[in-house]
C-alpha cells in the first residue's frame, strides 16, 4: 500500500481541489497558524487559476470549432453548411494576477498545517491534503518495454513505476537463450554489444522484470525485439 501526492493530476481536478481548499481553509486557519493575509493570497490564487483554466478551455473549444469550420470550408460534407465564423467566448474581466507557482505555495501551506500541534487527520481529509491510499498488487506488476535503434544501437525504454530497479534480459539468438543484461536503476538503456564478425545482422530480443529491494516482483514483461546490424 502506497500514498501518491495529495494534489490531483489533471487541471480540472486541480480546480476542484483548490476550490475546496480555499473554501475550507478559513475554518482551520487560526488553529494552524495561517494568517488572514495568507487566506487572501490563497483565495486570489484560486480565483486567478479558475479564470485561466476557463479561458484555456474556452480557447480550446474555439480552436476545435475553427478546425471543423476549416475542414468543411475545404471539402463539403453531406448536407452540412458553413455558419458564422467561430469566435472565442468573452473571457470577462480577469481577477488580480498572482505570481507563478500556485501549487508550490499550496504544498508549503500543507506542510505547515500538518506540522501544527493542532493538526488532525480529520482536518487533513477535509482540506484534501492527505494523499489517497493506493493498493498495489505486487504480484501483478509487469514492466512495459519499448526498443528502437539509436545510432545503430538498441535503445530500450522501460516503465519503472514504484519499483527500485528493473532486471533486463537479452536473447541474441546465439544459442544461449535469455541471459541477464543488467539491473537498471534508470528506465533507459543503450545496448552497446557488438555482433560477432560472422553475423552481419541479427534479431535481438529483450524482456524485463521489476525489482523491489533485492527481489524480483511481479510478472516478466512481454518480449520486444529489434534487428541490429554489425557496426
Cell triple for 6 = 495529495
pLDDT one-digit tens code per residue, 29-72: 999 999 999 999 999 999 999 999 999 999 999 999 999 999 99
**d(C-alpha 91, C-alpha 77), whole Å:** 32
Full-model pTM: 0.60
Residue ranges per structural domain of the chain: 2-130, 141-229
Q: Which helix (H) or strand (E) holds 67?
A: helix 36-74
pLDDT for residue 11 is more than 90: yes
**d(C-alpha 123, C-alpha 28), whole Å:** 8
**d(C-alpha 48, C-alpha 91), whole Å:** 12
pLDDT one-digit tens code per residue, 128-162: 999 877 677 888 999 999 999 998 899 999 988 88
For the segment(s) 141-229, the CATH number from 2.60.40.10, 3.40.50.12370, 1.10.3210.10, 1.20.1050.10 is: 2.60.40.10
Cα 25–30–33 angle (5° rounding)?
90
Among 151, 193, 188, 192, CA closest to 176: 193
Amino acid at each position: 500500500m502506497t500514498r501518491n501526492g495529495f494534489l490531483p493530476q489533471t487541471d480540472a481536478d486541480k480546480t476542484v481541489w483548490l476550490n475546496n481548499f480555499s473554501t475550507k481553509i478559513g475554518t482551520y486557519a487560526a488553529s494552524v497558524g495561517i494568517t488572514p493575509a495568507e487566506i487572501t493570497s490563497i483565495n486570489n490564487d484560486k480565483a486567478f487559476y479558475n479564470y485561466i483554466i476557463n479561458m484555456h478551455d474556452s480557447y480550446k473549444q474555439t480552436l476545435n470549432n475553427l478546425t471543423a469550420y476549416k475542414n468543411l470550408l475545404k471539402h463539403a460534407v453531406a448536407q452540412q453548411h458553413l455558419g458564422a465564423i467561430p469566435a472565442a467566448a468573452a473571457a470577462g474581466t480577469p481577477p488580480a494576477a498572482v505570481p507563478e507557482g500556485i501549487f508550490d505555495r499550496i504544498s508549503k501551506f500543507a506542510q505547515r498545517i500538518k506540522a501544527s500541534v493542532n493538526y488532525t487527520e480529520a482536518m487533513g481529509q477535509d482540506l484534501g491534503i492527505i494523499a489517497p491510499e493506493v493498493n498495489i498488487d505486487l504480484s501483478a506488476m509487469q514492466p512495459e518495454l519499448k526498443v528502437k535503434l539509436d545510432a545503430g544501437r538498441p535503445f530500450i525504454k522501460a516503465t519503472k513505476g514504484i519499483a527500485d530497479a528493473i532486471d533486463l534480459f537479452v536473447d541474441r539468438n546465439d544459442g544461449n537463450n535469455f541471459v541477464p543484461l543488467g539491473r537498471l536503476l534508470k528506465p533507459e538503456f543503450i545496448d552497446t554489444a557488438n555482433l560477432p564478425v560472422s553475423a552481419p545482422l541479427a534479431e535481438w530480443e529483450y524482456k524485463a522484470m521489476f525489482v523491489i529491494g533485492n527481489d524480483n516482483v511481479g510478472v516478466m514483461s512481454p518480449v520486444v525485439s529489434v534487428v541490429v546490424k554489425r557496426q
